[in-house]
């Protein structure tokens, strides 16, 4: 099965821009999906497809992909954005989703 | 609006079978073109897809768990079950059920239950 690699931890100053990255061979073929997870809560879908935000997700969140690297950018990070972020993609078998290890984002 | 809720024993003995149920409100496990998935998360760790069932009843499982896992939907189409046999401490995790939409262009889990904590211990 393929793997998705994420930096374990990233920090950003309040109001600044941060890019979270996700790398994996499956991203050559498929887009990445991004989930935000706060302690004690279920994951929340924040980005999918080519920069598609679900209803209710602020437009400071944006997504992109280049080669085998997908990125989730938060422009003007807010305190409430502090959370773990997981990327996901179908595996070599498109019916098998695989998740990255997650990035813990700290907003300073 | 579809909502999901997991339920089941919070403590399972080693070698026994873990059984969880996911109830749906505002919809049915047989409606729409969705997969209905189980995902788990050990404390402080990442997410792992366990398996899913499609609206037709077809199932698919994580190859690392396929020999021990079974997912089904009951006749009311509102309860989805997960059974994981021969559990060990490594199966201790929060178990989520989720609605998964999957196509070539999009794939996302947009509805999640709150999660059920299962501890495997004697």
What residues of chain B have any CB closer than 8 angstroms to a CB in chain A?
A: 35, 37, 46-49, 52, 60, 62-63, 96, 98, 100, 102, 104-110, 112-115
Composition of chain B by helix, strand, coil, percent to 5: 0, 50, 45
Phi first, then psi: give them for residue B13, nearest 5 degrees: -80, 150
Contacts of A36 (CB under 8 A, 6+ apart): A43, A44, A46, A81, A83, A84, A85
A8-23 pLDDT, tens digit per residue, is 999 999 999 999 999 9
- The pLDDT tens digits along chain B (122 residues) read 999 999 999 999 999 999 999 999 999 998 888 999 999 999 999 999 999 999 889 999 999 999 999 999 998 889 999 999 999 999 999 999 999 998 878 899 999 999 999 999 99
In degrees, rounded to 5, the angle at the alpha carbon of residue B6 between the alpha carbons of residues B4 and B11 is 170
Query: Cβ atoms within 10 A of the Cβ of A86, count?
Result: 24
Closest CB to B105 among A49, A95, A99: A49
Does A86 contact B109 at a Cβ distance shorter than 8 Å?
A: no
Q: Give the closest-approach CA distance of A49 to chain B in angstroms.
A: 5
């Amino acid at each position: 099965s393929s793997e998705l690699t994420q930096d374990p931890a990233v920090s950003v100053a309040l109001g600044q821009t941060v890019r979270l990255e996700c790398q994996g061979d499956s991203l050559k073929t498929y887009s990445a999906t991004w989930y935000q997870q706060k302690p004690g809560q279920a994951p929340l879908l924040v980005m999918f497809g080519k920069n598609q935000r679900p209803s209710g997700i602020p437009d400071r969140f944006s997504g992109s992909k280049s080669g085998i690297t997908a990125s989730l950018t938060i422009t003007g990070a807010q305190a409430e954005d502090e959370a773990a972020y997981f990327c996901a993609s179908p595996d070599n078998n498109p019916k098998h989703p695989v998740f990255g290890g997650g990035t813990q984002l700290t907003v300073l | 609006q579809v909502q999901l809720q997991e339920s089941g024993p919070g403590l399972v003995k080693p070698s026994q079978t873990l059984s969880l149920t996911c109830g749906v409100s505002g919809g049915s496990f047989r409606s729409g073109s969705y997969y209905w998935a189980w995902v788990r998360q050990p404390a402080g760790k990442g997410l792992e897809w366990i398996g899913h069932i499609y609206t037709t009843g077809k199932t698919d499982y994580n190859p690392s768990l396929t020999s021990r896992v079974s997912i089904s939907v009951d006749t009311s189409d509102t309860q989805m079950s997960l059974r994981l046999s021969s559990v060990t401490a490594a199966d201790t995790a929060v178990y989520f059920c989720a609605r998964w939409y999957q196509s070539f262009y999009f794939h996302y889990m947009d509805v999640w239950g709150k999660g059920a904590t299962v501890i495997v211990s004697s």
